[in-house]
Structure 1
């Protein structure tokens, strides 16, 4: 079961020649039943090392419409644009959002006997609220003969996460050789099962205060430089309420992110060489963790992940912009990484370091009127350089890195004249190489096979109306996707 309703009204109001307002909203009502994610045991040796053993139960959901979850979402963004002068514009942005998860969520956890896997379930009751206030001053002016395009801004972001979910409990077991389950998939049976678990009563709040500056400077008509700096202060606070009292922790962090870049055009407006360097960070949101058996749920805060990134590439616009191509090489080193706890599927550990390097290629072509081609390819080589001692990931590809190779292609044609004017046809697909949701010297590796998805579409467009009929996965291939030591089916 998957029912949803989506509504996204947008409003623009021009008060006068200097002041305008834009309001965008998103309202989503969704009720669905989750097909359980499969988590593979990361603490003991694996007897099977590929997905073939699960092919026989591919079409089984191991859930029922009685165990649904509701995920209503509301987002609002309001902007005020005011032209201060010919060179400067003020942009004020207010955003707020609310996301809720209320209902049943389950997962499968693979044991090591090669046949039986455990089925766990919990009743979620989570709510996340966000508020963001941003003030930007955008300038475009010259100092002497040098053109400056400047952004100076302040930003405040607040996120509040409330968690009143039950603990996890064993719902039953699934045997792989026959696909049978011992679980009783009724709401009353599950409620009785969860009544004996502890209920989390946790609230976590994070505030981020940011200031940033960026300037793109045209040194010559064919050479430009960019310099920027962003400073973020993270203020974290979490409260875990338990019987007889409560526990409060605070976690404040400051992060600096400078960025530098150069763009040179050997052939103006047709061929560009670019390079950039960034020392950045990624704020890690609080996450719910618990003991290995699903008891004692709480919310855990983490430090920001830190990254050094270098990129170099070339971009070409040829044949009067009918062909646009970009090729780039990157090298990224990320430290303080959040990693899966090998001894507890319900926990995460921090302190890893990963190096990723690779190439990316994208191409957009419009050979003739109405014919469009979009394609892209990426190759990524990633390796764990540091880990928590004995975790078993050192020197291997991180499980969160996904496939090494990705390829996408889409071509479409829409008739521009004649009796078929407005009718269009499209065809394309996606390819992903094999990847390993478990890759650990302590327990072994588990490989998901590569896959290719082919899609097509028929469309008709007339003035402001467009109708599209799309067919995905034409070949009806069984596809497995990966996560942190986990796999799901599509």
Structure 2
């Protein structure tokens, strides 16, 4: 309503290339190496009402019809290189079977970006005719680079084909470079441990504890790099495999995260890192494969995500903005044998996404839930795989999400992605 068709835009182009290598030297040692490069360019512009200069009465006329508008645009160019090299060792020590994994991974994120922001022409919200809006001149932001090197080791220990213990540790070093500012270096050691056992009738309860360390690429409106996100998760659940072609799981979890990105309460154009987020929820998933290569997969999750610490007092103790509490999906897939070594697979499914909220200083905006349909068509051959993925098959219009700042984001339209995979 407050935008302009010839001004508002979101154009994105992403090109990526991935190479996966693996080689078994013998029955004990296996080497894996993965390499991916992504080049991404985005052009985003928007107009939105100025409800910040005077939140109690944002109108600039006596009749309460006309609002000032703000404009914002950004053009980031991201280049991302990721590499992962590991060795796997399969061996036994007495009655214990080990799968020992040791490796190193590396990520190099680089961003060049330009932006503009400012006051645009006002608009009558009851007769929204947008005129006189021009695209301001872009200002170059400081170049940004973030590199991360991680060394990890994990041992999966299995006893008597009934109990498995996973022990893992990881050491990360992340360096953030922002043009014109001193480099920022962060180091962290994280751990993970998990235990699962078969108690009979193919029922396997489990419990896990995991720590996380994630560098956040990019910069705020003032050119400052972001601090890495940190978190820890405790999860317990049960897996049940009544037959070889069926699997059902249920899980309870609690996740705590710090340094999560959120909107700056003092500047709508800026992003800050809020204090702490706590999520707790439950997940169910089931899959069944029929004899004629027909697969049914269903899942449901309920997540209560809450802001526990923040520099924006109204959101403390409230639902996390833009995060649905309920998600559900149903997926059907069928394989058709076209020859001895050629398989055609078709899939169709639906995704349900629950409503979200956006909490502000004086009010809360709610975005309704929506359901989308996706499809898959894939041709599998010994060395080649050709696949076509379609999301939002029926090109449904929906919002995801609307925010208290006064703007709504349209959901993704129908998207068709083709993939070619070659194995050698």
- Length-normalised TM-score, structure 2: 0.80
Distance 2:143 2:286 in 1: 46
Aligned length in residues: 393
* TM-score w.r.t. length of structure 1: 0.70
Q: 1:404 to 1:183 in 2, by over 3 A?
A: farther
Query: Which residue is 1:377 aligned to?
Result: 300
Deviation at 1:368, TM superposition (A): 5.0
1:449 counterpart = 2:391:
no
Contact 1:369–1:416 (Cα < 8 Å) also in 2: no
Q: Counterparts in 2 of 1:9-408, with a 5 A limit?
A: 62-64=4-6, 71-101=12-42, 103=43, 105-109=45-49, 111=51, 112-113=58-59, 120-121=70-71, 124-163=74-113, 165-184=114-133, 189-190=134-135, 194-195=136-137, 199-239=139-179, 247-267=180-200, 270-289=202-221, 298-321=222-245, 323-367=246-290, 369-388=292-311, 390-400=312-322, 402-408=323-329
Shift in alpha-carbon separation, 1:100–1:452, aligned structure 2, 3 A: closer
Change (3 A) 1:218 1:137: same
- Residues 83 and 369 of structure 1: CA distance in aligned 2, closer, same or farther (over 3 Å): closer
CA deviations 1:155-193 (Å, max 9, x no partner) are 222222122x14223443454433422344xxxx43xxx
How do residues 458-477 of structure 1 correspond to structure 2 at under 5 angstroms?
472=392
- Stretches of structure 2 lacking an aligned partner (at least 5 in a row): 52-57, 412-424
Change (3 A) 1:265 1:96: same
**Aligned residues of 2:220 and 2:226 also touching (Cα < 8 A):** no
Deviation at 1:302, TM superposition (A): 1.7
**Partner Cα distance (1:487, 1:435) in 2:** 12
Q: Which SS does the other structure have where 2:182 is aligned?
A: strand
**Distance (Å, rounded) in 1 between the aligned partners of 2:219 and 2:185:** 16
Conserved? CA contact 2:349–2:375, under 8 Å:
no
| Secondary structure of the structure 2 residue equivalent to 1:318 | coil
2:225 & 2:71 partners in 1: Cα distance? 24
Structure 1 residues 106, 317: closer, same or farther in 2, change over 3 A?
same
Deviation, 1:429, is 2.8
Q: Quick check: 1:425–1:456 contact (8 Å CA) kept in 2?
A: no
CA contact (8 A) 2:96 2:158 kept: yes
1:104, 1:121 within 8 Å by CA — same for their partners in 2? no
The secondary structure found in structure 2 opposite 1:168 is: strand
Q: Any conservation in 2 of the 1:92–1:136 contact (CA below 8 Å)?
A: yes
Q: 1:217·1:226 contact (CA, 8 Å) conserved in 2?
A: yes
CA contact (8 A) 2:105 2:151 kept: yes
RMSD of equivalent CA atoms: 3.5
Q: Is the 8 A contact 2:39 2:80 kept in 1?
A: yes
Report if aligned partners of 1:423, 1:458 keep a CA contact under 8 Å in 2.
Answer: no
Instruction: Give 1:433 deviation, angstroms.
Output: 2.6
Change (3 A) 1:483 1:208: farther
CA change 1:117–1:217 in 2 (3 A) is farther
Q: Which has the higher contact order (CA 8 A, sep 6+)?
A: 1
Measure how far apart 1:68 and its partner are. Answer: 6.5
Indicate which of 331, 346, 349 corresponds to 1:410: 331
**Gap regions ≥5 residues in structure 1:** 1-56, 240-246, 290-297
